[in-house]
Amino acid sequence: MAKEICARVFAIVLALISAVTLRAAEPADILFLNGNVYTVNQRQPHAEAIGVKGERVTFVGSNADAQQFRGDSTRVIDLAGKTVVPGFTDSHCHIFGIGEREMNLNLEGTTTLKDFLAKVGERVAQTEHGKWITGRGWIETFWKPPQFPTRADLDKIAPENPVFLTRADGHAAIANSAALKIAAVTRDTPDPFGGKILKDKHGEPTGMLLDKAQDLVDSKIPPPSDTDREQALLVGVKREIELGWCEIQNAGSELPDQAILGRAFEANKIKLRIYNAAYGPGEAARQLLDIGPTVNAFAHHFTQRTIKVVFDGALGSRGAALLAPYSDKRDTSGYLTQKPEELRPMFEEALRRGIQVETHAIGDRANRTILDLYEQAFNAVPAAARKIAAPRWRVEHAQILSAEDIPRFAKLGVIASMQPSHAISDLFFAPARLGIQRLAGAYAWKSLIKSGATICAGSDAPVERGEPMIEFYAAVARKSIKGEQREGWHPEQAVTRDEALKMLTLNAAYAAFEENDKGTIEPGKLADLTVLSADIMKIAEPEILKTRSIMTVIGGEIVFSRE
Ligand SMILES: [Zn+2]
């Protein structure tokens, strides 16, 4: 009883305080009215109006109450019933690669080997003899037959130019004979650790290089100039803002790219928020450990506090490390691309210094081993010895999980950073690679949520298209873009629209220690908003894919508007 009275008195006091603040309300810089606002704030899930002052939200509520914030110089924007969500965050993408895809030979959507060779041929015709031809985006799983291209295919159309073309997933590439020659890759070249040089039945390289074997050729390609690299960054940033992303979490960078990022922010060329990871182990991780995190630089636009480890290959090229052999190639179970004993000391140091770790793990063996390594590090460096007691380490992709490993994410406080679009691309070939049984723990969003784990969502662009509506659709429909769903797709693993929205907003913020500033629309938080052409919480599934971002607001600034 006493408790109840206390609660009531408290509520009255709160109401009085808010009435006072309302009367003393400072006029907003911008008032958004007549919106269909999904706030992702449990205490006030839906609203009509948003007030913004400077870079932050000062009001969320009804059109009528919003009038209190209307001053002489307030800009009023009539949303005309349009849907507003907290600014979308892509929790995992590669911003330089996104720009490069726009600038280079883009092989996405090639439906046959012939089509692929025709596109490459066009580029060869425009390129001087001897100059490198590079490109990305092909994927043979949809070709008939679904076979890797060979160097012989490329030699026919490009006898004079070295050619190196990366598969969409970035985990494999095809090189022609001229490129292999420059890299001195022959029948006698051994597989490097964490990679494979595919060879034909006579022992000759086919031109296909998997994971770390790609470096043999890649390291011989003249690197892009800093100017080209900066242009790729800026092209990528522009594209992201137009798609409605307010923040991207860049899943790995080396020191030269970090310098380019820093200069671009200093010159005020980037409006997008970037949460940047440094690749490790290696130079970039070493420097991050030494100088420590950069948090909320350039007015909350740039944070760097994470080491990104790539721990295995990908499923398509059979590089993902599995506990049992591939169902369609019994002589391999994939491979790890880092040695666990080399990660242990880095992980412990990261905990001591308050550095987050995120690790790419696709296969069930990679996932189990990385959870083991995280757990060992957490035990070796107890909370009291850490700079941040709850370190929010992440597993990127967490794609194929053994049933007994699913509950370990919640138990260890490890975040699963997943890409809904990977499921709807991969599920066409995953049954062949894994067999029907193992699919039970593949892209297991719902099981992870039920176990109490936090999932943040991203696109892994340029591996996938990198569009928020594709990710949202994939998460809620778990059907191909054409609406198909086949045996082994586990429709029960689809998530609700509320869950999907949270994965792209609040959970993404949590995965970056940013939930006090971002992830919901509520007073006090940064005014990051994505305005959409349709109500994605209600429309039919296929309509989601037709929905477009029509306005992007970052820190109270309208950085993109379709009108
Ligand atoms: Zn990635």
- Segments making up each domain of the chain, as ranges: 2-81, 89-94+226-519, 97-218
Tokens of 218: 């890649």
Cα of 93 vs centre of ligand 1, distance in Å, is 6
In whole angstroms, how large is the CA radius of gyration of the chain? 25
Helices (H), strands (E): how many in the chain? 21, 25
Tokens of 309: 């480890």
Neighbours of ion ligand 1 (CB under 5 A): 251, 460
Tell me whether the omega of the peptide bond preceding residue 462 falls within 30 degrees of 0, making it cis: yes
Closest CA to 331 of 196, 211, 192: 196
**pLDDT computed for residue 25 by the predictor:** 79
Are the C-beta atoms of 362 and 92 separated by less than 8 Å? no
Cα of 464 vs centre of ligand 1, distance in Å, is 10
Cα of 19 vs centre of ligand 1, distance in Å, is 48
Cα of 375 vs centre of ligand 1, distance in Å, is 23
DSSP annotation string for 176-216: -HHHHHHTT--TTPPPPTTEEEEE-TTS-EEEEEEETTHHH
Cα of 313 vs centre of ligand 1, distance in Å, is 11
Neighbours of 81 (CB within 10 A): 10
Cα of 310 vs centre of ligand 1, distance in Å, is 9
Are the C-beta atoms of 179 and 164 separated by less than 8 Å? yes
Cα of 216 vs centre of ligand 1, distance in Å, is 20
State which residues of the chain have pLDDT below 50.
Answer: 1, 19-23
Are the C-beta atoms of 217 and 183 separated by less than 8 Å? yes
Those residues with Cβ within 8 angstroms of residue 370's Cβ, 6 or more apart along the chain or in another chain: 311, 359, 361, 395
Cα of 179 vs centre of ligand 1, distance in Å, is 25
Give the span between the Cα atoms of 405 and 125, in whole angstroms: 51
Cα of 34 vs centre of ligand 1, distance in Å, is 38
Across the strands, what pairs with 532? 83, 549
Q: What is the pLDDT of residues 176-213, one digit of tens each?
A: 999 999 999 999 999 999 999 999 999 999 999 999 99
Cα of 12 vs centre of ligand 1, distance in Å, is 50
Q: H or E segment at 107?
A: none
Give the span between the Cα atoms of 158 and 96, in whole angstroms: 27
| Helix 364-380, helix 340-353: angle, nearest 10 | 50
Are the C-beta atoms of 102 and 238 separated by less than 8 Å? no
Domain 2-81 class?
Answer: mainly beta
Tokens of 121: 């041929």
Cα of 250 vs centre of ligand 1, distance in Å, is 8
Cα of 92 vs centre of ligand 1, distance in Å, is 6
Q: What is the pLDDT of residues 43-79, one digit of tens each?
A: 999 999 999 999 999 999 999 999 999 999 999 999 9
Cα of 94 vs centre of ligand 1, distance in Å, is 6
Across the strands, what pairs with 276? 250, 304
- Answer whether 89-94+226-519 and 97-218 agree in fold: no
Are the C-beta atoms of 97 and 462 separated by less than 8 Å? yes
Cα of 363 vs centre of ligand 1, distance in Å, is 14
Cα of 132 vs centre of ligand 1, distance in Å, is 25
Cα of 352 vs centre of ligand 1, distance in Å, is 26
Give the span between the Cα atoms of 61 and 51, in whole angstroms: 9
Q: Are strands 245-250 and 88-93 parallel, antiparallel or unpaired?
A: parallel
Domain 97-218 listed as CATH 3.10.310.70 = yes
Cα of 156 vs centre of ligand 1, distance in Å, is 32
**pLDDT computed for residue 4 by the predictor:** 54
Cα of 211 vs centre of ligand 1, distance in Å, is 13
**pLDDT computed for residue 103 by the predictor:** 87
Which amino acid appears at position 52 of this protein?
V
CATH of domain 89-94+226-519: 3.20.20.140
Give the span between the Cα atoms of 317 and 236, in whole angstroms: 26
**pLDDT computed for residue 104 by the predictor:** 86
